[in-house]
DNA sequence: TTGCTCCTCACGTCACGTGAGGTGGC
DNA sequence: TTGCTCCTCACGTCACGTGAGGTGGC
């Protein structure tokens, strides 16, 4: 008998493959306190993860990769994500005043806006580089036409 | 008396500041053979650079930063740049047949197209991340409206 | 002459990679 | 039982950072 679809139990190698990294990196992040230690586990036992862990790790690694963050910067970002998760939970729990709900949403907006600013700055830098290369390409094709 | 504006002589600290890095990094790249050793210099003497060195280094560091290249990958890219510079020189020298000129241009196109592909892949990755964040933002503002 | 930047070792650090030797679950 | 992946040290590596002690040019 299977219960309702519960978060699939995954081992570290499978998690690493799914998010595009190595077991060593995941253990290292846990050691630094970047990731919560995989629960229910005595030393020497296998680490067990769920689909939600995979999603969180995937997002974190993508931000690190694309924004070129250090692990210290990544830590800040992950802590902000933690706070966000806590706010989400409070938002959906019962007996929360509309005023508090609004406050939570505003904080969520602040958070996503900060991330958007970082991402857009990168996008602009990449865009500038792309335009440079395109101009360079245009000069070459123009010279080609002049030659004909 | 000053001659015609000749490439300004710069020391390593000034170069580092202009390209946004440190003297240590420049020395390290030279040690690895990534950069040609600053010329006319006995051991213990100050390194001297020109504006063209600054430009080449700036481009290289930008590519490394924005594409997340390792120094080995950066080396390949710099070698391709070297080859490009050699082709440019041949292109503009006298007594080169139009057929050879065409060939040179085609190789230049290949080179810039390869770089463009790398840059566009990054741009797409960043773009996907940006859209994700924008959708997230939209969900928050929508919830805000529902609350009112 | 006094600062300032430069020089060359050389050890430290960050973010993992890579075995070495051993244990655990389909 | 046999593979496979997992575990924990622990040393290695890549890309520099950071003094230590000394020399060189406005």
Q: For residues A49 and B57, what is the distance between their CA atoms, to the nearest angstrom?
A: 44
Full-model pTM: 0.87
Q: Which of A114, A129, A135 is nearest to B122 (CA)?
A: A129
Test B126 with A129 for CB contact under 8 angstroms: no
Residue A91 has which token pair? Answer: 């938002």
Q: What is the pLDDT of residues A4-60, one digit of tens each?
A: 445 689 999 999 999 999 999 999 999 999 998 887 677 678 999 999 999 999 999
- Could you please report the per-residue DSSP string of B74-105? HHHHHHHHHHHHHHHHHHHSSS--HHHHHHHH
Q: Which stretch of DSSP H or E encloses residue B49?
A: strand B48-49
Q: Is B98 on the interface with A (CB under 8 A)?
A: yes
A141-147 contacts at long range (C-beta below 8 A, 24 or more positions apart): A141/B109, A143/B105, A144/B102, A144/B105, A144/B109, A147/B98, A147/B101, A147/B102, A147/B105
Distance between the alpha carbon (CA) of B61 and the C1' atom of C10, Å:
26
Contact yes or no for B14/B57 (Cβ under 8 A) = no
Mutate: best of B127, B140, B142, partner A, most A CBs <10 A? B140
Distance between the alpha carbon (CA) of A11 and the C1' atom of C21, Å:
22
Q: For residues B105 and B91, what is the distance between their CA atoms, to the nearest angstrom?
A: 8
Q: Is B121 on the interface with A (CB under 8 A)?
A: no
- B5 pLDDT above the threshold of 70: no
Say what the pLDDT of residue B2 is: 41
Q: Is A6 on the interface with B (CB under 8 A)?
A: no
Helix, strand, or coil (residue B39): coil
Give me Rg for the CA atoms of chain B. Answer: 22
Nucleotide nearest to B61 (CA to C1'): D15
Q: Which of A91, A38, A136 is nearest to B105 (CA)?
A: A136
Q: What is the pLDDT of residues B69-119, one digit of tens each?
A: 999 999 999 899 889 989 999 999 999 999 999 999 999 999 999 999 999
Q: Is A37 on the interface with B (CB under 8 A)?
A: no
Nearest chain B CA: its distance from A104 CA (Å): 10
Q: Which residue is nearest to nucleotide D25 (CA to C1')?
A: B46
């Amino acid at each position: 008998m299977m219960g309702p679809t519960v978060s699939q139990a995954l081992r570290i190698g499978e998690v690493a493959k799914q998010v595009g990294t190595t077991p060593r990196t995941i253990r290292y992040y846990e050691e630094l306190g970047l990731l919560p230690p995989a629960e229910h586990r005595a030393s020497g036992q296998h680490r067990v993860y769920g689909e939600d862990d995979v999603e969180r790790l995937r997002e974190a690694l993508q931000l690190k990769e694309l924004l070129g963050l250090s692990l210290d910067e990544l830590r800040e970002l992950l802590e902000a994500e933690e706070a966000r998760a806590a706010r989400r939970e409070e938002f959906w729990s019962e007996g929360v005043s509309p005023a508090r709900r609004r406050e939570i949403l505003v904080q969520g907006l602040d958070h996503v806006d900060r991330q958007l600013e970082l991402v857009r700055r990168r996008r602009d830098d990449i865009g500038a580089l792309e335009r440079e290369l395109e101009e360079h390409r245009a000069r070459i094709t123009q010279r080609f036409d002049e030659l004909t």
